[in-house]
Amino acid sequence: MSLPFMFYGLSGSMHIAYADFIFPFLALVTFAAPATKRQLSALRPLAYFALAMLTLVACSTLVASLFDPGFNAKLAVLNTIKLVVVFAYAVVFAVYAAILTREQFLSLLRLWGWTATVVSIATVFTAVGLVQIVPFSSDGARSQGFFQDPNLYGGYLTLSLCVIVAAEVMKTSYWSILQILSVAAAVVLTASRGSMITLGLVGVLALVFVATWKVRIVVGGLGVASAALYAVGTGFSVPWLSPAIARLGEAGRSVGEDPRLRIWRRAVDIWSDQPVFGVGIGQFGRFTIDVNGYDEHDVGQIAHNTFLSFLVESGILGLVLCVGGMAFLVFRLLLDRRIEGRLRYALGLGVFAICIGMFTLNFQNVRYMWVFIGLIWGFTVWQGKAVGYPRTPPTTRKHDVDAPYTVSPGARHAAREHAGTQPIILHRDL
């Protein structure tokens, strides 16, 4: 519930999320109980990944500090702390999700979805002038949420939309349509081109892979409404939509003038000079002060691209670890046959939304991304088998309701392994 409320200025350039105030308590509760086999199996690969990434960061920082006379140790320490914190989020939530039942996991998704829905409705109310709850930009054109950045807010909303769809797949709800419409409206109010494009792509993929009737109705309605608004093109009848329409219209025409492209070119140029270890964590900003006209007292620009950020600051090895970690998560999710196909695809939409956001944002220090990754990592099992670990409830054909059933050997093994805490898969005795 605290995820949409960031940032809190702690000291200078060090900002923390409001979730950080309650995170230590959650970590204490999670690790207080003895670890189960499932928790350990979920923890090991994630811990190895975090250890490998932090080791690489330490090596690249050491090399940069020895050979770069302008190395900024303060920026290196601050950014390393941020990376350690988000890895801690992923580990704690992975361990926590590993022992969740299907119903408990659904409740967690519902809580996430309703939190995003409430914030989205407050955003709409603020936009139309009913109340002043959610902060907007200084010109009143773009909703920033509580992130001080409309793009980060848009990323949170698109990921939350995928969470709502996943919860709907697990168990249908009368409120899902309201939730999806509210969150989609808030995404438009951010006027974030990346988030709106992600929203469209997620909608298309949801139609193909997660085709519930509610998703079809909502996505179809949003598509027709969006096409109509864009065709009108002025937004004079709905003034609070005009920034989003204008920014979408400019996206294709002014792509060559986007300041991020200059930053990306600079990142590639700098990486070509330090291809193996990069320039060190947190150091990229020092090389971008002159890119967009910032003065000498400015700390520079971030890469606005998670992949390029790892590439330029940690070298090619950092990029390989980043891409490899996301690929492992995708395969871990898709290969877990204990979870029904539509739910795997719905959760996969969330991973897809994160990957799209990583192309235009520095996502590596954003809490909600790592919380989602931790939940998916812990809830899934690498190459989990459909028989013997029934997180998917068994389906029964109508004409088989009165037929005799027996316990399968796989279900018997699952019952012994999980001490009767999970439902047993039954099959007809033929």
Cβ atoms of 378 and 95 within 8 Å: the answer is yes
Do residue 337 and residue 418 come from a single domain?
no
Q: How confident is the model at residue 265 (pLDDT cuts 50, 70, 90)?
A: confident
Share of the chain above pLDDT 90, in %: 17
Average pLDDT over the chain, rounded to an integer:
77
Do residue 192 and residue 282 come from a single domain?
yes
Residue 232: per-residue pLDDT = 52
Do residue 45 and residue 156 come from a single domain?
yes
Q: Is the pLDDT of residue 424 over 50?
A: no
Cβ atoms of 250 and 257 within 8 Å: the answer is no
Q: What DSSP designation does 218 have? A: H
In a domain, 20, yes or no: no
Give the torsion through C-alpha atoms of 49, 29, 347, 332, to 10 deg.
40
* Domain total of the chain: 2
Angle between helix axes 306-334 and 341-358 (nearest 10 degrees) is 170
Angstrom CA distances, 114 to 10, 182, 285, stand at 28, 10, 37
Q: Is the pLDDT of residue 390 over 80?
A: no
In a domain, 299, yes or no: yes
Token pair in block for residue 327: 């690929």
Do residue 183 and residue 325 come from a single domain?
yes
Q: How confident is the model at residue 108 (pLDDT cuts 50, 70, 90)?
A: very high
Token pair in block for residue 253: 């025409």
In a domain, 240, yes or no: yes
In a domain, 391, yes or no: no
Lowest mean per-residue pLDDT among 18-27, 158-167, 245-254, 351-360: 245-254
In a domain, 363, yes or no: yes
**Which tens digit of pLDDT belongs to each residue from 181-215?**
889 888 888 888 888 888 888 888 888 787 666 66
Do residue 246 and residue 283 come from a single domain?
yes
**Which tens digit of pLDDT belongs to each residue from 266-320?**
888 888 888 888 888 888 888 877 776 554 445 567 778 899 899 998 999 999 9
Q: Is the pLDDT of residue 245 over 70?
A: no
Give the torsion through C-alpha atoms of 283, 284, 285, 291, to 10 deg.
150
Token pair in block for residue 287: 């090389």
Angstrom CA distances, 414 to 16, 79, 187, 217, 261, stand at 42, 44, 43, 39, 53
Do residue 268 and residue 407 come from a single domain?
no
State the CB neighbour count (10 A cutoff) for residue 228: 9
In a domain, 19, yes or no: no
Do residue 307 and residue 419 come from a single domain?
no
Do residue 415 and residue 359 come from a single domain?
no
Do residue 366 and residue 418 come from a single domain?
no
Q: Rounded to an integer, what is the distance from CA 282 to the centroid of its chain?
A: 22
Q: How confident is the model at residue 425 (pLDDT cuts 50, 70, 90)?
A: very low
In a domain, 28, yes or no: no
Do residue 271 and residue 410 come from a single domain?
no
Do residue 330 and residue 416 come from a single domain?
no
Do residue 313 and residue 421 come from a single domain?
no
Structural domain of residue 420, as residue ranges?
A: 398-428
Residue 53: per-residue pLDDT = 92
**Which tens digit of pLDDT belongs to each residue from 72-82?**
888 888 889 88
